Amino acid sequence: MTLDVREERVLQRIEKARARPARLRDERITLAYGSGGKATATLVEAVFLDAFRNEALEPLEDQALLRAGPARLAFTTDSYVVSPLFFPGGDIGDLAVNGTVNDLAVSGARPRWLSAGFILEEGFPVADLTRIVASMARAAAAAGVEVVTGDTKVVQRGKADGCYINTAGVGVLETPVRLGAARARPGDDVIVSGPVGDHGITVMLARGDLDIEADVRSDTAPLHDLVASMLDGADDGVHALRDATRGGVATVVNEMARASNVSVVIEEGSLPVRPEVVGACEILGIDPLYVACEGRLVAVVDPAATPAVLGRMHAHPLGVGAAVIGRVGDDPPGVVLLRTAFGGTRIVDMLVGDPLPRIC
Amino acid sequence: MRFVDEFRDADKARSLAARIASLCEPGRHYKFMEVCGGHTHTIYKHGIEDYLPETVQLVHGPGCPVCVMPMGRVDDAIHIASQPDVVLTSFGDMMRVPGGRGSFFDAKAAGADIRMVYSPLDALKLAQKLPDRRVVFMAIGFETTAPSTAMTLLRARQLGVENFAVFCNHVTIIPAIKAILDSPDLRLDGFLGPGHVSTVIGCRPYEFIARDHAKPLVCAGFEPLDVLQSVYMLMRQLADGRAEVENQYARVVPWAGNRRALEVIADTMELRPYFEWRGLGFISQSALRLRPEWAAFDAERIWPLPGIRVADPKACQCGEVLKGVIRPWECKVFGTACTPETPIGTCMVSSEGACAAYYNYGRFTRQRVEEAAR
Amino acid sequence: MSGVRRRINVGLLTDETIGPGDWILIHVGFALSKIDESEARAALEFLEGIGQAYEDELRALQESP
């Protein structure tokens, strides 16, 4: 098959354009900026990184790695604005603990302490708050972390959608682990810890505006124990770890491909997805690769270490469905491809904003 | 899933691909146009072009109802959304289409109440839930979606809902195909017929293509094997020297279409004398509006619209892409000034637009992608 | 579909008899068409035939001197 020279030249021009730092053109924030895709990345780079620039922030990982004397700490924060607040499999409280625990866990740190800041809407039922806080206490105990400080604010009726929560977390790096999105190497295996898309679909259906019912539950869970199990005896074989939250597996894999300047080929047939999630995605016209998870991680692993790592994962309750879904290559750099079950190939790019359902 | 998985089998794909290759005349180049955004999407999503010989090219036509929406109509919709007490409801695909002064998302950020729905029935339900607001449904789509809008209007009247209105932007496929056939720029060998539009209009309306223009049309389904089989059927017709309308999607498409669907459209809507299509200009009898009896539900009659014609940005070549004259990467601003994050034209915004599909899915030459995937 | 349940308006299918077990095409909350099982079977048979013919050809090629 011969290359079309003109097309190749256009594609090179595009790659150069993509490599340039993104500029923020909008005057107002739109919903797209919150979905974890390209728009979010542009906002972070153009506004936050620009103003706060410092060594700890630059890598833009899920957490910052800090030194305090001999101690190596991981520090992260996340805000939880999910609607509805309660859904099959958990509630905003579970997310608020597990989400932050996971951001710490994927650096190899042991999560230790959380802060919890609440923004409550005037009129919010105390019973609901009690229920949420009970979930947080349970989740914290299960994760082995303590909520050591917090804050409460109340805003007027109509704001805060009932309840917004921010949690910040501190973890301790106890072993000399070196993980990072920039450490993927050609030949590495890409592993996902279980079926994808459960959380996003659950929340979409729980909103109740679609007349759709399915037996799906959020996958929210603390992953630090699974991570510890994977790292133990992997001998530096695990190169990168991320938890797949908003934007799904596709976003996380793209971030890694870009940070490491490698390509990734995902095998559609190997991607674990529950049939109910497949069905719901087909009806809604969205792609499971982009649907949020809350208890799944993506690992990039040296192929020599894969059997051991996968074995550890399968032996852990949260890694039972773990599978190798793809492989790291060197060309085209920074690009993620999908080999479809049908045998063709296509690109899996980051979305601009939230996945919008197709109608046709 | 039944009736879906069986049509995604890779081995059968290879067999069909071999058959297609065996029908290729040496030295001849084949161009088939598909006129359905769903086909554009399927072709790229499953990498179907990887199975076709280099000499068989699939051209994307004006089959994406979002892509053919002129910027002025987006502005009109935002004008309606900005009226007091109005909630504008729209399918997700329209939310990022740029008008003259921004998209629905931008208007929402500036304070307009614009909400995403999955069905016109959702909009009607919202109207019942919010009796003090005026809920307007932005109706877009070809004949596939028009019956749903029509049914919703009938239901609204039946339920006595008075705060519900429709901003009708439905377009019809046949005039668009005629415009393509009459265009001197194109040399097409045949068409992949729009499978879902055909469930409503049937296959008979395409007969003029075979009869008057001597080109074959195969009404095609949306699974990858459907598309490949349809290409095979087109090649077969050309090899046999035939030009007919065939129905590959017979499991879903009845030859006579859906009588009830056509009935409800006729009950509620009529053809506009002309309508502007992005890139194709004004086409007569190519779009629908609500009949005078439905004036109480017609957003265009309730709120006088600016109706200002907004010229596409000079750099935009969406028109040529929509006619299949150029391929997405041949547009001068493709991928540089016009990207999914900063779209200039509709072809890059809509998930079914040829440019978006190519940028998001097919951006690298086949050889490079194949090598990477080996 | 794969365990996912949805409410659909079937007002556009008044000319057909539909019952549990039937497969239908849905679009934005409405049923547009009932799947014709015999046509579906015919389509699959065609595809199987193509697959078989291809395999036969491949085998013939391999066996030829």
Structural contact between residues B139 and B164, judged by C-beta atoms closer than 8 angstroms: no
**B131-157 residue pLDDT tens:** 999 999 999 999 999 999 999 999 999
Q: What is the dihedral of CA A208, A209, A214, A219, to 10 degrees?
A: -60
Question: For residues B59 and B31, is the Cβ–Cβ distance under 8 A?
Answer: yes
Task: Spell out a b/e string for A218-235, using b for 16 or more CB atoms within 10 Å of the CB, else e.
Answer: bbbbbbbbbbbbbbeebe
Residue A150's closest CA among A120, A119, A117?
A117
> Average pLDDT, whole number, for chain A?
90
Query: B272 to each of A34, B108, B173, how far by Cα in Å?
Result: 41, 30, 14
Per-residue pLDDT at B46: 80
For chain C, the straight-line distance linking the first and the last C-alpha, in angstroms and rounded, comes to 50
CA distance B368 to A323: 27
What value, to the nearest 5°, has the Cα angle with vertex A294 and ends A290 and A295?
Answer: 115
Q: Which of A157, A98, A97 is nearest to A133 (CA)?
A: A97
Q: Please write the tens of the pLDDT for every residue from A253-283.
A: 999 999 999 999 999 999 999 999 998 988 8
What pTM was computed for the model? 0.85
Chain centre distance of CA B156: 26
The per-residue pLDDT for A62 is: 84
Which of B121, B218, B258, B262 should be substituted to probe chain C, the one whose Cβ sees the most C Cβ atoms within 10 Å? B258
What is the torsion angle, in degrees rounded to the nearest 10, for the CA atoms of residue B145, residue B151, residue B157 and residue B159? -120
Task: Decide if pLDDT at C28 tops 60.
Answer: yes
Average pLDDT over residues B203-212: 96
User: Average pLDDT of B168-183?
Assistant: 92
Give the mean pLDDT of A73-94.
94
Contact criterion met (CB < 8 Å) for B147 and C53 = no
Which residues in chain B have their CB less than 8 angstroms from residue C14's CB? 260
B15 to each of A14, A39, B51, how far by Cα in Å? Answer: 35, 43, 10
Average pLDDT over residues C42-53: 80
Q: Find the CB nearest A282 among C1, C7, C28.
A: C1
Q: Which residue of A has its CA nearest to B224?
A: A342
Instruction: Name the nearest CA neighbour of A247 among A239, A237, A255.
Output: A255
How close A343 comes to chain C (CA, Å)?
Answer: 16
Chain C residue whose CA is closest to B13: C51
Q: Which residues of C touch B229 (CB under 8 A)?
A: 43, 46-47
What's A268's DSSP letter? G
pLDDT given for residue A186 in this prediction: 96
pLDDT tens, A8-58? Answer: 788 778 878 777 777 788 888 888 888 778 888 888 888 898 899 888 888
The C-alpha R_g of chain B, in whole angstroms, comes to 21
Q: Residue B370: its pLDDT value, please?
A: 57
* Contact state of B6 with C44 under an 8 Å Cβ cutoff: yes
User: What DSSP character marks residue B83?
Assistant: S
Q: Are A298 and A231 in contact (CB under 8 A)?
A: no
Say yes or no: C27 contacts chain B, CB-CB below 8 A.
yes
**In the structure, what pLDDT confidence band is assigned to residue B12 with cuts at 50, 70 and 90?**
confident
- A neighbour chains, 3+ CB pairs within 8 Å: B, C
- DSSP codes, B7-18: GG-HHHHHHHHH
Is the pLDDT at B54 greater than 80, yes or no? Answer: yes
- Output the pLDDT for position B373: 58
Asked if the Cβ–Cβ distance from C9 to B151 is below 8 Å, we say: yes
* pLDDT of B135: 97
Q: Which of A210, A275, A359 sits opposite C3 (nearest CB)?
A: A275
pLDDT tens per residue across span A128-182: 999 999 999 999 999 999 999 999 999 999 888 899 999 999 999 988 778 989 9
Contact B294, B268 (CB under 8 A): yes
pLDDT, residue B371, reads: 60
User: Which one has a higher pLDDT value, B366 or C15?
Assistant: C15
Q: Whole-angstrom Cα distance, residue A153 to residue A212? A: 36
Is B199's Cβ below 8 Å from some Cβ in C? yes
Q: Which residues of C touch B260 (CB under 8 A)?
A: 11-15
Return mean pLDDT, chain C.
82
> Can you tell me the distance from the alpha carbon of A94 to that of A112, in angstroms, rounded to the nearest whole number?
16
Q: How far apart are CA A97 and CA A95, in angstroms?
A: 5
Under a CB-based contact definition with an 8 Å cutoff, are residues C12 and C30 in contact?
yes
A window 199-238, beta carbon within 8 A of C: 210-215
- Is the model more confident about C56 or about A303? A303
Retrieve residue A58's tokens.
């630059």
- Closest-CA distance, C31 to chain A, in angstroms, reads 12
ipTM for this prediction:
0.82
Chain A residues with CB-CB distance to C5 below 8 A: 212-214
Helix (H) or strand (E) holding A329: strand A323-329
Give the residue on B whose Cα is nearest the Cα of C15. B260
CB pairs under 8 A between A and C: 33
- Beta-carbon separation of C6 and A282 below 8 A: no
CA A102, A103, A106, A108 torsion: positive or negative?
negative
Q: Do C2 and A283 touch (CB under 8 A)?
A: no
C contact test, residue of A278, A291, A358 with most C CBs within 10 A: A278
CB A190 within 8 A of CB A266: yes
Contacts of B19 in chain C (CB under 8 A): 50, 54
Q: At what angle do helices A92-105 and A224-231 cross, to 10 degrees?
A: 20
Tens-digit pLDDT profile for residues B227-285: 999 999 999 999 999 999 999 999 999 999 999 999 999 999 999 999 999 878 899 99
| Residues of B in Cβ contact (< 8 Å) with C53 | 15
Interface residue of C23, C35, C47, C59 to substitute, partner B, most B CBs within 10 Å:
C47
pLDDT of residue A2: 40
Q: Would you call C4 and A214 a contact, using CB atoms and an 8 Å cutoff?
A: yes
- Tell if the CB–CB gap between C15 and B259 is shorter than 8 Å: yes
Structure tokens at A74: 């991981």
Q: What proportion of chain B, given as a percentage, has pLDDT over 70?
A: 94
Nearest to B219 by CA among B245, B180, B257: B245
Cross-chain CB nearest to B364 (options A22, A332, A339): A332
CB-count burial class (<10 Å; 0-12, 13-18, 19+) for B82: middle
Band (B372; pLDDT cuts 50, 70, 90): low
DSSP 8-state assignment for residue C64: -
Q: Do C4 and A283 touch (CB under 8 A)?
A: yes
Helix/strand/coil for B225: helix
CA B225 to CA B228: how far, in whole Å? 5
The answer to whether residue B121 scores a pLDDT higher than 90 is: yes
- Confidence class for position C17, pLDDT limits 50, 70, 90: confident
Q: How far is C26 from chain A (nearest CA, A)?
A: 9
Please tell me which chains touch B, using 3 or more CB pairs under 8 Å as the contact test.
Answer: A, C
C-beta separation of B274 from B284 below 8 A = yes
Span A120-129, pLDDT tens digits? 999 999 999 9
CB atoms within 10 A of CB B205: 18
Residue B369 confidence class, pLDDT cut points 50, 70, 90: low
pLDDT at A102 over 60: yes
Inter-chain CB pairs, A–B, below 8 Å: 167
| C46 to chain B, closest Cα gap in Å | 9
More confident residue, C55 or A85: A85
**DSSP assignment of A1-41:** ----HHHHHHHHHHHHHHHSPP----SS--GGGGSSSHHHH
Residues 28-57 of C with CB under 8 A from B: 28-30, 32-33, 35-37, 39-40, 42-44, 46-48, 50-51, 53-55, 57
Closest chain A residue to C25, measured at CA: A283
Interchain proximity B105–A32, CB inside 8 Å: yes
Q: Which pLDDT score is estimated for B271?
A: 96
- Say whether residue C60 is in contact with chain B using an 8 A CB cutoff: no
**Cβ atoms of B99 and B78 closer than 8 Å:** yes
Residues 6+ apart with CB under 8 A from A157: A121, A122, A123
Which residues of C lie closer than 8 Å to A, measured between beta carbons? Answer: 1-7, 26-29
pLDDT confidence bin for A3, thresholds 50/70/90: very low
Instruction: Determine the Cα–Cα distance for residues B107 and B86; give it in Å rounded to an integer.
Output: 13
Q: Which residue has the higher pLDDT, B194 or A5?
A: B194
**What average pLDDT does range B5-13 have in this prediction?**
75
Residue A327: beta bridge partners?
Answer: A189, A265
Q: Which of B1, B18, B145 sits opposite C28 (nearest CB)?
A: B145
Q: Are A113 and A148 in contact (CB under 8 A)?
A: yes
Question: For testing the chain C interface, which of B153, B251, B259 should be mutated: the one with the most C CBs within 10 Å?
Answer: B251
CB A294 within 8 A of CB A218: yes
Cβ–Cβ below 8 Å for B364 and A339: no
Residue B37 pLDDT grade (very low, low, confident, very high; cuts 50, 70, 90): confident
Q: Which residues of C touch B2 (CB under 8 A)?
A: 23
